[in-house]
Amino acid sequence: MSRSLGLNLALLAGIAVTVLLSLMAGKVWIPLDAWVAGDPRWPIIAELRMPRTVLAVLVGAALGLSGAAMQGYLRNPLADPGLFGVSSGAALGAVISLYFGYAASAWLLPAFALTGAGVTMALLALLVGRSGSIIVFTLAGVILSSVAGSMTALAISLAPTPFATSQIVTWLMGALTDRSWDDVWLALPLLALGGVLLALTSRTLDALTLGESAARSMGVDPLRLQLLIVIGVALCVGASVATAGIIGFVGLIVPHLVRPFVGNRPSAVLLPSALAGALLLLLADSLVRAMPTVSELRLGIAMSMLGGPFFLFLLLRMRRGLA
Amino acid sequence: MNVLAVEAITLTLGGRRVLDAVSAAFTPGRVTAVLGPNGAGKSTLLSCLAGLHTPDQGRVLVGGLPRAALGMRDLARQIGLLPQGADVHWDVDVATLVALGRYPHRARWGETEADRDAVARAMVATDVTQFATRAMTALSGGERARVLLARVLAGEPQWLLADEPLANLDPAHQLDTLECLRDVARSGAGVIVVLHDLNHAIQVADDVLLLCDSRIVAQGVPEDVLTPQRIAETYGVSSHIGTTPDGLRFIVTSQMAR
């Protein structure tokens, strides 16, 4: 217990410090004494950097939490919230809006993305039915995500103008550039609701450590659990993709980073994963924003560049464990 | 009286009738061994008792009430199931694993004095207290089996259902586990255990339930049920029943003469 508390406090402190630094840093350095309403540089913080920072924290936390919950639910440390197709579905929705050039309105793209996430979730529920089986669940997710992926590729290849193509490709890489408070207000309620649903699963995920039969004999309702996980992850991931595009690896990496500190019990991993996800995404976003590149490095690419080597590290460690 | 009973339960799974009009009653404070060849329906019977399967016909009575009248949580508090070859999917430490057994009792947040006591008692009963802080992967097969049994006992069930708890254990640990099951029965709970070894059954069981081809062939005290003729009929092996000089009964089986 105290181990988790210590880590959570440390992560919170880390987030607080990084938030302050990320608000100060950027193409223009804005020291603390300029953080007053009358200062000409204040709007940069209040209207440009603040929403972006808040979104990085929210999206990172949602992805980290979703990843920890998915790994606990599937009892597989390599599970990722993208696994069951909701992020691909949300991306497809967004791509459709870009394909038809609807992105003009700030609300349309997220609305399409959320619709895509919702449709994927409904299809997933339909495919899995009342079986409550994890294998069916995983397979259905893989099918949906590959179908959504192929539709996205189709949209790119058939895009009406080269501009639309490049817009789609760029958007797919995921970023938090030019986000406003509107995006925050769109995402916040969905992410909060998703987070609450996932938090409700914590003790049941622990019980699942003993396998499905034992868990059911202890009173776990597999259908209720599946519903909470599917809706919770769909809200978190759907809202994240709607506001930030596809940002991979956060949900996969973060639970691994916190387990050495809090142990392997699934419920103990949830909160620290949310906090560490927030910190990781905030750090990564602050870095890509502050780096002196001509055009900003996309956050999604930065995370993938971290993710590959991390996977390699996992593999090597696993191999050492087997040897 | 607080009994656990099945009344004429029939269950078809995947087109195969796995239980056919099975009726039996179990008594608290006694160890009942469920015996029978592979595929006779032993594990399925346990699943029905634990609420993992719902019979197509017939009913399961828990303390005189139909099972459906009890909520899942209520049922889980009364009946503890130790599944076959129980998996542990995350490498947690022993104390954490045993505490999972409190799931049916625990309030949403936090752990009560009663929870801690029950976990401590279960760990003493199975003699795993000294491993409390060890990781599950650092245990031997025998230690692991005891920890998993402690998990079920931590739930303080009135009925302990164990599905082949002796698989993969050496003779010493098998005897330890049998002794532990006897202790559980002595404390007043009912124990229903699926076994393969007939000798274990006559050692530990007060009652025996013999299943074959989804039906009950015989039930009663081991001496009455396990006769050479019945063993031949259900298992298709010939057997010799004897007594050691110090009064332990044993059964030696051999292939039938053709």
Q: Flag whether residue B52 sits within 8 Å of chain A, measured between CB atoms.
A: yes
Domain count, chain A: 1
pLDDT band at A38 (very low <50, low <70, confident <90, very high): confident
pLDDT for position B1 = 54
**CA nearest A109: which of A91, A122, A85?**
A91
| Whole-Å CA distances, A130 to A86, A127, B12, B68, B75 | 19, 9, 18, 19, 22
What is the DSSP secondary-structure string of B198-240?
Answer: HHHHHHH-SEEEEEETTEEEEEE-HHHH--HHHHHHHH-EEEE
pLDDT tens profile B74-83: 899 999 999 9
**What is the rounded distance in angstroms from the CA atom of residue B136 to the CA atom of residue B234?**
38
**What is the rounded distance in angstroms from the CA atom of residue A302 to the CA atom of residue A298?**
6
Q: Which of B52, B79, B90 to mutate to test the interface with A (most CBs of A within 10 A)?
A: B90
Q: What is the ipTM of this complex?
A: 0.88
Q: Flag whether residue B79 sits within 8 Å of chain A, measured between CB atoms.
A: yes
Task: Kindly report the CATH number assigned to the domain that includes residue A104.
Answer: 1.10.3470.10
Determine whether the interchain pair A209/B80 forms a contact, defined as Cβ–Cβ distance below 8 Å: no
Chain A, residues 150-209, CB within 8 A of chain B, namely 203, 206-209
Determine whether the interchain pair B51/A263 forms a contact, defined as Cβ–Cβ distance below 8 Å: no
Pairing between β-strand B190-194 and β-strand B31-35 as defined by DSSP bridges? parallel
| B188, burial (CB in 10 Å: exposed 0-12, middle 13-18, buried 19+) | exposed
Taking residues A28-48, what's their average pLDDT?
A: 81
**% residues pLDDT > 90 (chain A):** 41
Q: Flag whether residue B51 sits within 8 Å of chain A, measured between CB atoms.
A: yes
Name chain B contacts of A264, Cβ cutoff 8 Å. 90-92
Q: Flag whether residue A211 sits within 8 Å of chain B, measured between CB atoms.
A: yes
Name chain A contacts of B83, Cβ cutoff 8 Å. 211, 213-214, 217
Task: Kindly report the CATH number assigned to the domain that includes residue B106.
Answer: 3.40.50.300
Q: Flag whether residue A284 sits within 8 Å of chain B, measured between CB atoms.
A: no
Determine whether the interchain pair B89/A208 forms a contact, defined as Cβ–Cβ distance below 8 Å: yes
**pLDDT higher than threshold 90 for residue A138:** no
pLDDT tens profile A207-266: 999 988 899 999 998 889 988 998 999 999 999 998 998 898 899 889 998 998 999 999
**CA nearest A266: which of B125, B206, B254, B91?**
B91
Contact A249, A71 (CB under 8 A): no
Q: Write down the mean pLDDT value for chain A.
A: 88
Structure tokens at B60: 């399961």
Range of the domain at A270: 2-322
pLDDT for position A132 = 66
Range of the domain at B243: 4-255
Domain count, chain B: 1
pLDDT for position B3 = 85
What is the DSSP secondary-structure string of A122-167?
Answer: HHHHHHHTT---HHHHHHHHHHHHHHHHHHHHHHHHT-SSHHHHHH
pLDDT for position A103 = 59
